[in-house]
Structure 1
Amino acid sequence: MTDASTTLPKTNSSPWPSRPFHRQYLMRQANNLFDFFAAPSLNPKGGFFELDDDGKALNPANSVRQVHGTTRMVHCFAIGSLIGRPGSDEMVDHGMHYLWNKHRDTRHGGYVWGVDDHGVTDGSKQAYGHAFVLLAASSAKLVGHPLADKVLADVTEVIEHRFWDDTVGAVREEFGNDWSQITTYRGQNSNMHLTEALMAAYEATGEKAYLSKAERIAELIIARHAVPLGYRVAEHFDENWVLDKEYVGSEMFRPSGTTPGHWLEWARLLMQLWILGDKRLSWMPDAARNLFRQSIELGWDAQHGGFFYTLDWDNKPVLREKLWWPVSEAIGAAAFLSAYDREDYFQIWYRKLWDYAENHVIDHERGGWLSELSEDLKPKSRLFTGKPDIYHALQACLIPLYPATGSLTAAIISTDHTVKQYQ
């Protein structure tokens, strides 16, 4: 089964997510992630520690909490609460109070990027960070946290009045602490994660304005840009949303060229958006299939395995490191596509991706998933230090277990109408 173009034999053709052992495997991997991140991440001074490869706090004396880290932990432990993981409600509560009391800027509004024990370390207001605030608030609402409605209303207003550009149907990227302009740069990554959060907010509230914004972002980023580029997602734009192929930014957050992992992320998000939009926008499933196929065709290392982090515009690998999150997103995308497209291709790749994760990415000795591998799959720490978060890997484990009907949190609730309310 090394050739992903082959057809599954009838004796082995039933989808893995329907098999009892595989379902047990997925839940076991999810539980292992919770075990690795739960207690060691909780910072008694508020917020959460980032962890090293052994699961110990990085810089415990004065840890910087970035807003996307705080909010991703809230989101993931809200998932834990929904599936019945003991201890999760306490983690959600811990994170929500830190988000509201420390990240929230009571003077200028919005949520600051970085905070430590002494105060604000980076007061900038990032669209990327606010997307995760919206996601965290939406997830916290589903478990009934008492701050969820306040945060949801607050961040919705901030996104609407500070970030959203209705003339194009996307958000502006970043501002100073006082909402002064930092740059005219526009980026797809923040808009992609906002699409995820807007869908979650729509499912949590039923307010269609969230869904409408998500559809407009998808139209801009995918239909207007990625499709004409041969289903390659452009990352960097100027203020008029003209593609900037020469852009060079942070290797971690804004690497040059294209990032196949984001093509995979969009493949799943488009399927979710198509379903939530009552399957009106017929271009989305085809785009999702093609984004997935292109990520495999151009981004997968046929020699060693794994996805190259970035490609140039001639489709040559630039950053050849293999990170944990693209394979996580690929698993989620393959699971979603397999639910609606019975072609063996997506099932075969779902299995191949789990083979790769099991044999190379999951750290069976210490726990968690290795964040970075070299081109030849040796552990490496050039772009990332330690094990940054639970978010991508956890969703890879749990998305295949639940109906492919929208966001993971809503899918969990749809299978269990006895979810308890937060006490």
Structure 2
Amino acid sequence: MDLKSQMRDELLSILDYWTKNTIDNKNGGFIGTIDHNEIKHYNDPKGSVLNARILWAFSASYPITKNEQHLKIAERAFDYIAQYFYDREHGGIFWSLNSDGTPNDTKNQIYALAFTIYGLSEFYAASGNTQALEMAVALYKKIEEYSFDPVHKGYFEAFTRDWQPIDDLRLSDKDANEKKTMNTHLHIVEAYANLYRVWKDEDLKSTTRELLITIDKYFIDTDSKHLRLFFNEEWVEKEDVVSYGHDIEAAWLLQWCAEAIDDENLTAVYKKHAIILTEGTLEGLDNDGGLWYEFDAHKNQMIKEKHWWPQSELWIGFVNAWQLTGDKKYIDLTQKNWKFVQQHILDKENGEWVWGVNKDYSLIEKDKAGFWKCPYHNSRACIELIKRLP
């Protein structure tokens, strides 16, 4: 079976797991956590990022699968976000909810707003639901009103529920507590470009263009061939790890964003960056075809873990590099990584993908579904390869 056919089968397998295992028939919406032992934690908080990514994954898959059940699950995700995660009083997105749908952590993490826009715009494309588009546009305007830095450019990370400054700006405990991060900027521009695909607003287009210029200026280090990750308000860098997954995700995704707004100059810039960042990612490839998680520059050592999501982004980034150069090595490396994923990351007993493996291939015992374990990276990799491969 060729790679394209395998990707179609894998997409269906991923969607099947989420369809059968994650619907919360006790509390509504989707279960907050399924742990690595497949135990469902119905009382755990529900994360906004998880729900937005479920919305995106099933909405983006529907035009490929033509399965009405997939559209119904996207509708379930939309209805739950609209009813519970969307803050009608202040116009934001709650970071998390209690299992009964009441607010838990009410901060406005811009990353979560961005992913909600990404999911809503994809759902509108799949369903024509105008309420979803209206909500996406409203969230875009909130980000521009409160998060955009008119003095130094770029976007601030987080705010309180009523859009006041907040001390802890971090997405997670592992992140530096800085005001501007690569990760959030990457997903804002991804969201804006996706929204522009369905809402051809000139202000949105120029805003997206300016953001791509800002990312080019500050986040991409063409000398090291890696991304710069953390900055303060005035763009003073706080040096951190090399994140191979983000390098290869940015390699193809930023080019995609430039193409989405039909900007020829920025597309040309980001095609060059795509090859540079892809070549930088090669540093993180192991002999088995798997991609290591991160390199700790302070300790000058590889973080010897292979997480599920960087493997997914590798597929798209390397196939994109092959499309740009015609160099067969990128397809060969994609095939080799897919074999690694089949051997070590696919959960052949229960379905879906495990969180990852350690150096000795022992399991990283983290969620199968949860706050950060979502059907977004791996489903998107399948979708993109289905679209890109002949």
Letter of the structure 2 residue corresponding to residue 131 of structure 1 = A
Distance 1:80 1:305, change over 3 A: closer
Contact 2:304 2:358 in 1 (8 A): yes
Q: Give 1:9's aligned residue.
A: none
1:393 aligns with 2:375: no
The size of the alignment, in residue pairs, is 369
* Structure 1 residue 212 displacement after superposition: 3.2
Choose from 302, 324, 337 the match for 1:340. 324
Q: Alpha-carbon deviations, 1:312-339, whole Å to 9, x = none?
A: 2368335322100001001011122222
1:77 aligns with 2:58: yes
* Structure 1 residue 367 displacement after superposition: 0.7
Q: Give 1:126's aligned residue.
A: 109
Q: Alpha-carbon deviations, 1:325-365, whole Å to 9, x = none?
A: 00100101112222222022322222222122122211222
Distance 1:39 1:366, change over 3 A: closer
In 1: Cα distance, 2:213 partner to 2:34 partner = 37
Choose from 294, 299, 304 the match for 2:280. 294
Q: Alpha-carbon deviations, 1:198-225, whole Å to 9, x = none?
A: 1111111122433433333333334434
Contact 1:258 1:313 in 2 (8 A): yes
Contact 2:244 2:291 in 1 (8 A): yes
1:378 aligns with 2:378: no
Contact 1:329 1:392 in 2 (8 A): yes
Q: Give 2:210's aligned residue.
A: 216
1:266 aligns with 2:247: no
* Structure 1 residue 118 displacement after superposition: 5.6
1:39 aligns with 2:20: yes
**Aligned sequence identity (%):** 21
Letter of the structure 1 residue corresponding to residue 364 of structure 2 = K
Contact 1:164 1:172 in 2 (8 A): yes
In 2: Cα distance, 1:115 partner to 1:241 partner = 33
* Structure 1 residue 21 displacement after superposition: 3.1
SS at the partner of 1:230? coil
Choose from 71, 83, 86 the match for 2:68. 86
> Any residues of structure 2 matched to 1:348-363 within 5 Å, and which?
348-363=332-347
Unaligned runs of 5+ in 2: 168-177
**RMSD over aligned Cα atoms:** 2.1
Contact 2:61 2:383 in 1 (8 A): no
* Structure 1 residue 130 displacement after superposition: 0.6
* Structure 1 residue 278 displacement after superposition: 4.2
Q: Give 2:30's aligned residue.
A: 48
Distance 1:118 1:363, change over 3 A: closer
Distance 1:167 1:231, change over 3 A: farther
1:240 aligns with 2:234: yes
SS at the partner of 1:270? helix
In 2: Cα distance, 1:40 partner to 1:56 partner = 10
Contact 2:222 2:276 in 1 (8 A): no
SS at the partner of 1:347? helix
Distance 1:228 1:336, change over 3 A: closer
SS at the partner of 2:104? strand
* TM-score after normalising by structure 1: 0.82
SS at the partner of 1:280? helix
Q: Give 1:310's aligned residue.
A: 294
SS at the partner of 1:283? helix
Contact 1:267 1:287 in 2 (8 A): yes
In 2: Cα distance, 1:315 partner to 1:334 partner = 28
Contact 2:346 2:353 in 1 (8 A): yes
* TM-score after normalising by structure 2: 0.88
> Any residues of structure 2 matched to 1:129-278 within 5 Å, and which?
129-143=112-126, 144-183=128-167, 185-245=179-239, 256-276=240-260, 277-278=262-263
Unaligned runs of 5+ in 1: 1-19, 246-255, 405-423
Contact 1:321 1:372 in 2 (8 A): yes
In 2: Cα distance, 1:178 partner to 1:133 partner = 18
> Any residues of structure 2 matched to 1:313-332 within 5 Å, and which?
313=297, 316-332=300-316
In 2: Cα distance, 1:228 partner to 1:286 partner = 10
Letter of the structure 1 residue corresponding to residue 50 of structure 2 = G
Q: Alpha-carbon deviations, 1:228-281, whole Å to 9, x = none?
A: 552211111111121012xxxxxxxxxx42211100010111321343334322
